[in-house]
Amino acid sequence: MGVSTAVVGKEYPATSYEVGLEKIREYANAVGQAEPVHHDRGAARAAGFRDVVAPPMFAVVYSAPALGPAILDPEVGIDFAAMVHGGQEFVWGEPVCAGDEITTRARVREIYQRDDKGFYVFESVSTNQHGDEVVRGTWTNIVRGV
Amino acid sequence: MAALNQGDRIPELRVTPDKYLPHRYAGASGDFNPIHIDEQFARQVGLPRNILHGLWTMAQVARAQTEAAGGDPRALRRLAVQFRGMGVPEEEIVVSGTVRERDGDRVVVATEAHQDGSGIVRNAEAELVLG
């Protein structure tokens, strides 16, 4: 038993996500972001954005689909019934606005064991249609009883 | 905008997610894990009831930071959190934080989210750049 580190560094196919104005509004409403820059095109442009701007944590909407195949990868070997989302980090770059086309690539960054817990750490890097980095995510899943 | 000098507390954010919030967040985020939206399923797998999405709670921690910085989403450059325990709907969540360091326009905030006295986001750190 225990964790296998053989897949550290493995990369997964890039996913792409086209950012919709109504999706930003829906997300902003669900998380309680009432600022006009997340809802109104005129307010966003007046504040210097190309279009309605996504709240920072909208990063999960466009980047999570790239993580799915990594977390489900049998070579990684996560036991879902015993998995919890233990930690999350985002480092933001260029703002994401309605109309952007975001590409996200995920890889296995680190796997380690502490006591009977396995730590599976994935990294995602998202870039926009101009090649600018918009967010870098570090996703830590903890599996008990490895 | 809050003062945000070393040792200052950011304004507390208090929010009570209503019963149907996890459903709206599921739709907004695409995370339809039944532990968040199906109370009966959640109980069957040993949870007290359906639980909040951790990333929704993280979004509240993020919102507390951008509000402290005056509402500009560009102010938040980094946020790292650890999820502990489980948040539930229909009970108030309090996000608090203290400025750990300030260097010019760059501010580092130690922050966390509590519900009913226990931490659900712990050891979180946010980096802000004030405009």
Q: B117-130 burial, b if ≥16 CB within 10 A, otherwise e?
A: eeebbbebbbbbee
Could you state, in order of their start, the residue ranges of all structural domains in chain A? 15-19+58-144
Angle at A82 between CA A79 and CA A85, to 5 degrees: 100
Helix (H/G/I), strand (E/B), else coil: A74: coil
Phi, psi of A128 (to 5 degrees): -95, -175
Mutation site, B13, B14, B82, interface A, largest A CB count within 10 A:
B82
Tokens 């209503």 locate to: B18
Give the pair of three-digit tokens for residue B35.
């532990």
> CA B25 to CA A36: how far, in whole Å?
20
Q: What are the pLDDT digits (tens) for A80-97?
A: 888 999 999 999 999 999
Shortest Cα distance, chain B CAs vs residue A88, angstroms: 5
Are the beta carbons of A53 and B73 separated by less than 8 Å? yes
Q: Give kind and range of the element (H or E) at residue A26.
A: helix A21-31
| DSSP classification of residue B71 | S
Per-residue pLDDT tens digits of chain B, which is 131 residues long: 668 999 999 999 999 999 999 999 999 999 999 999 999 999 998 999 999 999 999 999 999 999 999 999 999 999 999 998 899 999 999 999 999 999 999 999 999 999 998 999 999 999 999 98
Contacts of B81 in chain A (CB under 8 A): 87-89
Provide the terminal-to-terminal Cα distance of chain A, rounded to the nearest Å. Answer: 6
The fold of the B13-18+53-129 domain, in CATH, is: Thiol Ester Dehydrase; Chain A (3.10.129)
- Partners of B54 on chain A (C-beta within 8 Å) are 85, 88
Nearest by CB: B83 against A26, A31, A85: A85
* Residue A1 clears pLDDT 70, i.e. is over it: no
Fold of A15-19+58-144: Thiol Ester Dehydrase; Chain A (3.10.129)
Pick the residue from chain B with its C-alpha nearest to A138.
B80
Judged against a pLDDT cut of 90, whether residue A146 lies above it is answered with no
The answer on pLDDT for A2 being more than 90 is no
Residue B57 carries which DSSP code?
Answer: H
Beta-ladder partners of A80: none
Q: State the helix-helix crossing angle for A21-31 and B21-29, rounded to 10 degrees.
A: 150
* pLDDT tens digits along A17-46: 999 999 999 999 999 999 999 999 999 999
| Domain range summary for chain B, segments of one domain joined by + | 13-18+53-129
- Residues B110 and B124 sit within 8 Å (Cβ to Cβ): yes
Mutation choice for B interface testing from A60, A80, A144 by most B CBs within 10 A: A60
Give the nearest partner residue to A95 out of B58, B74, B82, using CB atoms: B74
Q: Pick B92 or A1 by higher pLDDT.
A: B92
Residue of B nearest to A68 (CA): B31
The pLDDT of residue B78? 98
In this prediction, residue A145 has a pLDDT band, given cuts at 50, 70 and 90, of: confident
CA distance B18 to A37: 25
pLDDT at residue A141, rounded to an integer:
96
Nearest Cβ partner of A31 from B27, B59, B71? B59
Instruction: Kindly tell me if the per-residue pLDDT of A4 is higher than 90.
Output: no
Neighboring chain A residues of B30 at a CB cutoff of 8 Å:
61, 64-65
- Give residue-wise pLDDT tens across range A54-82: 999 999 999 999 999 999 999 999 998 88
**Total residue length of chain B:** 131
Q: Average pLDDT, stretch A110-116?
A: 95
Task: Evaluate whether ipTM surpasses 0.85.
Answer: yes
